[in-house]
Amino acid sequence: KKEEVNSFSHFSSVIMFSTANETPPRMLRGAPIKLLTLGDTGAGKSALLLQFTEQSFRDEFRTTVGMDFKTKRMMIDENPVKVQVWDTAGQERFRSITRNYYRGAQGIIFVYDITCENHNIRKWAADLEEHSKTKVQKILIANKVDLLSSKDLKTNVQKGKELAEELEIPLFATSAKTGEGVEEAFTALVRSICKTTRLYSSPSRVDVFKGTKNSRESRCCS
């Protein structure tokens, strides 16, 4: 099984952000970057969140009821960033609650089980489009790649790639169990947010408290 896990390492980021090598704008200190996971029940959203924030995995997870979140501090291009990831319930009966959290999110993580052909990612994407008027950075995560053989993985990743191209967002193949591709996916999304957000400071902004130009390099949210 270990060999199968290693065999899909080159699939971890099938489509990358086009701005991967650009220098991010300097961000103002303040509130954390807010990310939101969207996807069906059983896709592994909670497991991904636990793996990303604590580098751990549990075989048994209780179905998320309503909302939950975890916070993690990261370094993005030598800038400290505080990230708040909200784990949403996948059940239809909680959809109205989930929609309330669309507002204010700076990044969306669509998650689906790569072993399951019948997922609702298109519906989740359409729901976000309908109920959120703010343009946000998005990625697509094909989770549970550790459950597939190398042959099936290649086939299913190709299907995921086609879906990602349809939605015009990057695709990442991950395993919340082994950690494969998880850090890479979240880092790419946060980096993209840092590059595109308008909440950045000018190098010559005036510090109204000191009455002088602030020469300190501001950082991503601390």
Name residues whose C-beta falls within 8 Å of residue 89's C-beta, 6 or more positions apart in sequence.
41, 63, 64, 65, 66, 67, 97, 98
The answer to whether 170 touches 140, Cβ cutoff 8 Å, is yes
Q: What is the pLDDT of residue 89?
A: 74
Q: What is the arithmetic mean of pLDDT over 107-132?
A: 95
Q: What percent of the chain has pLDDT over 70?
A: 68
- Please tell me which residue, 88 or 173, carries the higher pLDDT value: 173
Count of other CB atoms within 10 angstroms of residue 58: 12
As a whole number, the mean pLDDT across the chain is: 78
Coarse DSSP helix, strand, coil percentages of the chain, rounded to the nearest 5 percent: 35, 25, 45
Q: How far is CA 174 from CA 18, 23, 187, 212, in A?
A: 20, 26, 13, 47
- Homologous superfamily of domain range 2-17+32-198: P-loop containing nucleotide triphosphate hydrolases (3.40.50.300)
Q: Contact, 12 vs 174, CB < 8 A?
A: yes
Distance in angstroms (rounded) separating the CA atoms of residues 63 and 39: 13
Q: Where are the domains of the chain?
A: 2-17+32-198
Is 163 within 8 Å of 114 (Cβ atoms)?
Answer: no
Tell me what pLDDT residue 59 has: 76
**177 vs 4, residue with greater confidence:** 177
Q: Judge whether residue 154 has pLDDT over 70.
A: yes
pLDDT digits (tens, 9 = 90+) for 48-70: 999 999 999 987 655 555 567 89
pLDDT band at residue 83 under the 50/70/90 scheme: very high
pLDDT digits (tens, 9 = 90+) for 167-200: 999 999 999 999 999 999 999 999 999 998 754 4
Band of the pLDDT at 33, cuts 50, 70, 90?
Answer: very high
- Split at pLDDT 50, 70, 90, the class of 220 is very low
Asked whether residue 212 carries a pLDDT value surpassing 50, the answer given is no
